[in-house]
Structure 1
Amino acid sequence: MNAVSRFGAAAVAALVVAGPAAAQETVVWWDFLSGGDGVRMKQLIDDFNAAHDGQIAIDATTLEWGTPFYSKVQTSAAVGEAPDIMTYHASRIPLAVEQGVLQPITEADWQAMGLSPSDYDPATLEAATVDGQIYAVPFDTHPIVLYYNKDVLAEAGLLTEDGLPMGLDSREGFTATLQALKDHGVAFPMASVTADGNFMFRTIYSLMAQQDGELLTDGEFLAGDNGEKLQNALSVLAEWTEAGLQSTYTDYPATVALFTSGEAAMMINGVWEVPTMMDAQAAGNLFEWGAVELPVIFDHPATYADSHAFAIPANQGVEMSPEKRAAVLEVMGWMAKNSLFWATAGHIPAYGPVTQSEDYKAMQPNATYSSLTANMIFDPKTPLAGVAGPIFDVMSTYFVPTLNGEMDPAEAVEEIRYELNDM
């Protein structure tokens, strides 16, 4: 029996109830969270530390999102200097497992946390799993959604009785809504991050999945008719740009600014921008707004999502003591059970008892878009995928000119297929 199994839940209990006589465990924490969700995570950390005063203290550091974070994790783990716990994108877990930088989450760990894999949506848990082994505990799912200006759509007569944008059920219907907004004098019917192909991957992959398209099939990229499905997705977005229904060459900050200023009536963005909207509206600086699942442009609903998860680094040459691991597991379990507050960052908590609670079901706009969890799709399960990964980089090169009318979608697909399979 290993050390974790011997101590498990008993070690956590000892840490929590032993009081001043027990030495305080310090848990070194790294995350990549900034902005509204960073503020909320810092609050959760403060709350945890207050609740565990004298027993466990989280020593938290926020690092730069994306490649810098993951490069630092890899190099630090290799020399035994990674943290005790860290946030991790589920999409990056296959590469992390290949690199040997994550410890598996064992059955004894789940028991010590007071959690169960059955508490989680199967698709979300699968995103944290490689070859049948779970390597992280999902904390949320964070899909993209459609934000909309209720005031502008109401003035244009484009809201349903339920207060939702008209035309969400078809390509023709949604395009007609965009055109009606333009005819109504709206400068930008929709704002999209068309200057950043890494971000647009999320939208394009969603539209592929609405056609049951796959990026990777049995080790081959864009096999069979999947290239045609990618072309369909690119084509509709390029058509919106050409018709002046979608912003052109717009970077991320400009996209948010177009929407919050009222120049754009709708915006496709991540749920992580919910705090931006809530805080601006609370300060009296924003119109009435809403957020809803992406429109069904093709055959059925499908929305890209990733998951923030908690992972334990595999520090080379350094064995974590049973007491330290017990403290780390107490952090993970506490965060899951208290993740209702995390929902105020826009994210959908991964822990089922929270999302099934009446408090969560009453939250807006979360309750409006949380149904999309039944239609979520995650990155292909490959070390080439994930945030700031090679797939993102290759596709980004061709997405930007295609979406902005400078490259034919069919040509882009052929180039993407060649470069991805060449990897």
Structure 2
Amino acid sequence: MKVFKSILIAAAASSIASPVLAETEVVWWDFFAGGDGVRMKALIDQFNEEHPDITINGTTSEWGVPFYTKVRTAAAVGQGPDVVTYHLSRLPRALSEGVLTPITDSDLETAGLSRGDFFERASKAASDEEGTLYAVPFDIHSVVLYYNKSYLEGTEYLDDDGELTGIESLDDFNNALKVAQDNGAQPPLSYQTGGPGGVWRMFYTLLSQQGGAFIENGEVLPGDNFDKAVQAIEIMQGWGDNGYQPENAEYEASVALFTSGKSAFQVNGVWEVPTMIDMEKAGTLGFEWGAVQVPTLLDEEAVWADSHAFAIPIQGDEKMSEEKREAVMTVIGWMEKQAIDWARAGHIPAYTPVAESDEFRQMEPNATYSSLVDIAAYDPRSSIAGVASPVYDAALNNIAPAIHGFLSPEQAAEQMKSELQSLRD
């Protein structure tokens, strides 16, 4: 018995002298696939290696409606994750559902961050109407204009350094498309004309470049915004009439038209930059290329944009412990400071210390189109808007038929307005 007591005392003394480091598990859900998924998995692994006291337990789910439905359902019953990735275009919907918790200044301080560390447009998109922050922006991603230099050699659209120039209006762009077409590009412009994402992003860019608003005070295309929507659709329809864009191209086909060298231009997300770089390194890309901010074709500088962000869901009726919340904010802060690795996926860091670093300023073509952070046009602040929303469905159901000649621009705008009006906030 005395021996047994001695063992217990010795064990207790050992425990006091060498305390066991408590480990906090952070349950993480994201929707990243492809190259984004590989990069995020590497970041999670690196964090776990560097933080023996915090372990990220990551799960990747299907992008879009399935992901957001899963988050909402699980969080409501207290079975959700501790942190999720979120599109800021979906934030108004999340706020209407009450699925996210506010991010306080104290939370940001725990993460080693502050509100002033982020680009203004991203920070605004991450907040409610009163300015309360509900997510921490990780990047700004937008559509950009990719170009194939071979179709523009010897024309006014390449400068002495081989960079795109001379496109400062819709007429300029249409002329460049005609020149590329005459030089053999078939079709000269590629984007996803047969899917909701590509159609909406092109339409919304053209609407925003007119100073138009898709939804105001819960009304869809109020006042002269309707006429601006019609004009945007007319422009896209005109590209179809002139053979400048593909017929009903799904996403993969629209990318292939450009990477195979058939199209001179592509309007697509910055997330395709790694595709171009990888093909170039592998020697499977048969032309020189570049990527720039989508030119201002109409009255105002504007381009469709969104952001990936980090958010903390509700925990059913329970409140997250201080220890867990501190761990979650530690994860978020660390990720923001490693955003240069995420930028290699084509994104622009929303965290300005990284975006303004020498390393990012030397990263091409990201640095060339990084000016878009000041003109980023986020989707309407509405629960019916954002990625994989009714607005995207309406774009596919109404704008896509119009740009292929099956509806007039007026019919498309009217049907879209009517379809969405009943769902308005």
Say whether 1:335 aligns with 2:335. yes
Which one has a bigger Cα radius of gyration? Answer: 2
1:244-259 aligned at under 5 Å gives the runs 244-259=243-258
Partners of 1:329 and 1:149 in 2: CA distance: 43
Aligned to 1:414: 414
Cα distance in 2 between the residues matched to 1:43 and 1:55:
19
Q: C-alpha distance in 2, partners of 1:275/1:322?
A: 39
In the aligned structure 2, how far is the partner of 1:327 from the partner of 1:283?
41
User: TM-score normalised to the size of structure 1?
Assistant: 0.93
Question: Partners of 2:328 and 2:152 in 1: how far apart?
Answer: 48
1:102 aligns with 2:100: yes
The residue correspondences of 1:19-34 to structure 2 (distance < 5 A) are 21-34=20-33
Equivalent residue, structure 2, for 1:12: none
CA distances 1:284-320 after superposition (whole Å, capped 9, x unpaired): 1113211111122111221010110000110103332
Q: Does 1:163 align with 2:180?
A: no
Name the residue aligned to 1:84.
82
In 2, Cα distance between equivalents of 1:136 and 1:321 = 19
Letter in 2 for 1:152: Y
Q: Say if 1:156 and 1:184, in contact at 8 Å, map to a contact too.
A: no
CA contact (8 A) 1:30 1:87 kept: yes
1:283 — aligned with what?
Answer: 282
Aligned length: 404
Task: Name the counterpart of 2:36.
Answer: 37
Give the match for residue 400 of structure 1.
400
Percent of aligned pairs with the same amino acid: 48
8 Å CA contact 1:20, 1:55 repeated in 2:
no
The aligned residue for residue 10 of structure 1 is none
Query: How many Å separate the matches in 2 of 1:162 and 1:303?
Result: 25
What is the aligned partner in structure 1 of residue 310 from structure 2?
Answer: 310
State the Cα deviation string for residues 390-423 of structure 1 (Å, max 9, x = none): 2221232101111112111011111112222222
Match of 1:14 in 2: none
Structure 2's unaligned 5+ residue stretches are 1-17
Superposed displacement of residue 237, structure 1: 1.1
CA shift for structure 1 position 219: 2.1
The CA distance in 1 between the partners of 2:334 and 2:229, in whole Å, is 41
User: Is residue 128 of structure 2 the alignment partner of residue 130 of structure 1?
Assistant: yes
Taking only aligned residues, the RMSD between alpha carbons, in angstroms, comes to 1.5
Structure 1 counterpart SS, 2:264 = strand
CA change 1:198–1:77 in 2 (3 A) is same
Please tell me the residue identity of whatever aligns with 2:176: T
8 Å CA contact retained: 1:234, 1:409: yes
CA contact (8 A) 2:156 2:165 kept: no
Matches of 1:155 and 1:265, distance apart in 2: 14
The reply on whether 1:238 has 2:227 as its aligned counterpart is no
Task: Name the SS of the counterpart of 2:245 in structure 1.
Answer: coil
1:195-210 to 2 correspondences below 5 Å:
195-210=194-209
CA deviation string 1:43-90 (max 9, x = no partner): 1111111111x2111111111000000010111111111111110000
Q: Output the amino acid matched with 1:247.
A: P
Task: State the secondary structure of the residue aligned to 2:146.
Answer: strand
1:263 Cα offset (Å): 1.0
- Kept after mapping to 2: 8 A contact 1:147/1:290: yes
CA offsets 1:102-140 (integer angstroms, 9 cap, x no match): 011011101101100011111111101113211000000
Q: Following superposition of structure 1 onto structure 2, how do residues 160-239 of structure 1 map, counting pairs within 5 Å?
A: 160-239=159-238
* 1:334-369 Cα deviation digits (max 9, x unpaired): 011110111100011000101111111110000110
